[in-house]
Amino acid sequence: MRELMADASSLPQQRQTPPQALLERLKDFGQEDAFALWDELSPEERLLLVNDIESLDLSRIDRVIRCSFRSHGQHDSGLPMAAIEPVPESWYRQWRSGPLGTERGWWKMGWKAISDGKLAVLLLSGGQGTRLGGSDPKGCFNIGLPSGKSLFQLQAERILCVQSLAAEAINDGSAGSVQIHWYIMTSPFTDEATRKFFESHKFFGLEPDQVTFFQQGTIPCVSKDGRFIMETPYKVAKAPDGNGGVYTALKSSKLLENMSMRGIKYVDCYGVDNALVRVADPTFLGYFIDKGVVTAAKVVRKAYPQEKVGVFVRRGKGGPLTVVEYSELDPSMASAINQGTGRLRYCWSNVCLHMFTLDFLNHVANGLEKDSIYHLAEKKIPSIHGHTMGFKLEQFIFDAFPYAPSTALFEVLREEEFAPVKNINGSTFDTPESAKLLILRLHSRWVVAAGGFLTHSVPLYATGVEVSPLCSYAGENLEAICRGRTFHAPCEITF
Ligand code: UTP
């Protein structure tokens, strides 16, 4: 609580006018409308409003609003189109393109780092998930798999699986010998429900002390003229400050020191809403270590020129890597072909799967904290006038990439690693149903490759089997369970 903040005893119950000093401050920033309904408020509501405004760092917020509006309408990345270059060939690794054995080398390097306790997993789970609807955080969502598992459970079980594979890889199969710490970023909108969900599910078999929750910040939502939107007559509408808020949140929660104390060197970071995410992927980690870079991203190939995904580009000749949103890439650039490779010139789609060194996180947390240009996301905001269109101010996780002296991209197959859960069932794409089917199809292929058979009473394109992450991380170790056996889809295959 800041010094100025009022409590019930310091605010006269019968106050007729807003506190003058606070009103003057709001006027300095053109936000005095926040007190427009003062006369209609009860004494308790007036107190809530004063405390709400006092809790805001008004001068910083004003700077962010002004800088963000000024740069909005230019390209979000602040780049003129002429300055955008394709990612150089040497900066990415195409899917399984390396010499035979490289993959195995990375896999080994990854296991070694994991079993030495050098990897942490960082989950971005502070978003409001408005497109998906529902009141629970996205991670609690059951996408309709035969097991009924939530996204959080799928991810927790993948961590458990990696832990036991790592213990085997170092010839120490004993349970608990390898532990991966899981940092989970929530926001005031998802924090309590997320913690309760983990507690009521006994942390899905993980040790409670290997999970750390922390909250990201929020920032007021604003109208088209940059004024605060009021959610109620005594509360400013606020939203989480974007998944890029993670850098500042890690710093302010002192978790970068916490990671360092644990001996963590590498951080695997991802969004909660990818049902196929390979959490703590040892191959990706090995590639990252082998390349000696400070950041890396898994990418998938853009499906078609107009696909609505952000793509990695290079900021000018000799410049760093960054992401441009689909809306920023003009149609001729979006459909340009690289004559040498036959691929789109800008084809590496960002799917929010990143690896960072801890040193880089420390570096970027200090830099981005001072950055005042946020992305303006036009969304429906709950307000005293019902849901109204306005702007959420957000930093994005990839805003950090231009700060990186070295970056590498790692191509993965969409059907193996990317099943986004963004929109409610019935929408045309990225729904729980489409994510469920992607899992069932992939896992059915694993089971058949391991010598199993499938029967099904609905067409196979609409069903399949689910393999518990406790049995297999990426299709390995399934022969003993599947060879010669027949499974009737849909069902879950577990030990
Ligand atoms: P999205 O951009 O899809 O946003 O987040 P969202 O909030 O989940 O959903 P909508 O736009 O309201 O429908 C991509 C990832 O970034 C996380 C989300 O939880 C998700 O994992 N995120 C997003 C945060 O952690 N914090 C934020 O402020 C925003």
Report the separation in Å between the CA atom of 399 and the middle of ligand 1, taken as the mean of its atom positions: 15
185 lines ligand 1 (CB under 6 A): yes
Q: Reduced to 3 states, what is the DSSP secondary structure of residue 300? A: strand
Report the separation in Å between the CA atom of 242 and the middle of ligand 1, taken as the mean of its atom positions: 7
417 lines ligand 1 (CB under 6 A): no
pLDDT in tens, 167-196: 998 776 676 789 999 999 999 999 999 999
Q: How far apart are CA 26 and CA 33, in angstroms?
A: 8
Domain boundaries defined on the chain: 2-55, 83-426, 431-495
243 lines ligand 1 (CB under 6 A): yes
195 lines ligand 1 (CB under 6 A): no
DSSP assignment letter at 444: H
Residues making up the chain, counted from first to last: 495
137 lines ligand 1 (CB under 6 A): no
Report the separation in Å between the CA atom of 485 and the middle of ligand 1, taken as the mean of its atom positions: 41
Phi, then psi, of 488 in degrees rounded to 5: -95, 115
pLDDT in tens, 387-410: 999 999 999 999 999 999 999 999
Please report, for the chain, how many H helices and E strands are present, in that order.
14, 21
310 lines ligand 1 (CB under 6 A): no
- pLDDT value for 330: 87
Residue 489 has pLDDT above 50, yes or no: yes
Choosing from 273, 379, 430 the residue with most ligand 1 atoms within 8 A of its CB, the one to mutate for a pocket test is: 273
pLDDT in tens, 403-443: 999 999 999 999 999 999 999 999 999 999 999 999 999 99
Residue 351 has pLDDT above 80, yes or no: yes
Q: What percent of the chain lies above the pLDDT cut of 70?
A: 93
Residue with CA closest to ligand 1 atom 15: 271
Half-sphere exposure of 280 (CA within 13 A, CB side): 32
Question: How do 311-315 and 321-324 pair as beta strands?
Answer: antiparallel
pLDDT in tens, 241-291: 999 999 999 999 999 999 999 999 999 999 999 999 999 999 999 999 999
Q: How far apart are CA 360 and CA 294, in angstroms?
A: 6
DSSP assignment letter at 118: -
Amino acid sitting at position 126: G
Residue 2 has pLDDT above 50, yes or no: no
Atom of ligand 1 nearest to the CA of 377: 11
Report the separation in Å between the CA atom of 255 and the middle of ligand 1, taken as the mean of its atom positions: 21
427 lines ligand 1 (CB under 6 A): no
DSSP assignment letter at 6: -
Structure tokens that stand for 328 in this block: 């920023």
Mean pLDDT within 458-486: 95
127 lines ligand 1 (CB under 6 A): yes
pTM of the model: 0.94
Choosing from 123, 128, 423 the residue with most ligand 1 atoms within 8 A of its CB, the one to mutate for a pocket test is: 128
Residue with CA closest to ligand 1 atom 10: 129
Amino acid sitting at position 476: E
Residue with CA closest to ligand 1 atom 22: 127
Report the separation in Å between the CA atom of 477 and the middle of ligand 1, taken as the mean of its atom positions: 34
Question: Contact at 8 Å (CB) between 379 and 130?
Answer: yes
Handedness of CA 455, 458, 462, 466 (dihedral sign): negative
Report the separation in Å between the CA atom of 138 and the middle of ligand 1, taken as the mean of its atom positions: 9
Question: Contact at 8 Å (CB) between 444 and 133?
Answer: no
Q: How far apart are CA 353 and CA 271, in angstroms?
A: 7
131 lines ligand 1 (CB under 6 A): yes
CATH number belonging to the domain at 431-495, selected among 1.10.3470, 2.20.130, 2.10.10, 3.80.30:
2.10.10
Q: Any idea which fold 83-426 has? A: Spore Coat Polysaccharide Biosynthesis Protein SpsA; Chain A (3.90.550)
Question: Contact at 8 Å (CB) between 229 and 181?
Answer: no
Choosing from 151, 184, 194, 272 the residue with most ligand 1 atoms within 8 A of its CB, the one to mutate for a pocket test is: 272
Of residues 424, 324, 270, the one with CA closest to residue 80: 324
Q: How far apart are CA 26 and CA 49, in angstroms?
A: 13
Question: Contact at 8 Å (CB) between 5 and 54?
Answer: yes
Report the separation in Å between the CA atom of 421 and the middle of ligand 1, taken as the mean of its atom positions: 11
Mean pLDDT within 39-62: 96
Structure tokens that stand for 22 in this block: 């606070």
Residue with CA closest to ligand 1 atom 21: 271
Report the separation in Å between the CA atom of 54 and the middle of ligand 1, taken as the mean of its atom positions: 27
Residue 95 has pLDDT above 70, yes or no: yes
Residue with CA closest to ligand 1 atom 1: 127
Residue 370 has pLDDT above 90, yes or no: no
Residue with CA closest to ligand 1 atom 25: 126
- pLDDT value for 372: 83
271 lines ligand 1 (CB under 6 A): yes
Of residues 233, 219, 189, 240, the one with CA closest to residue 385: 233
Mean pLDDT within 41-67: 96
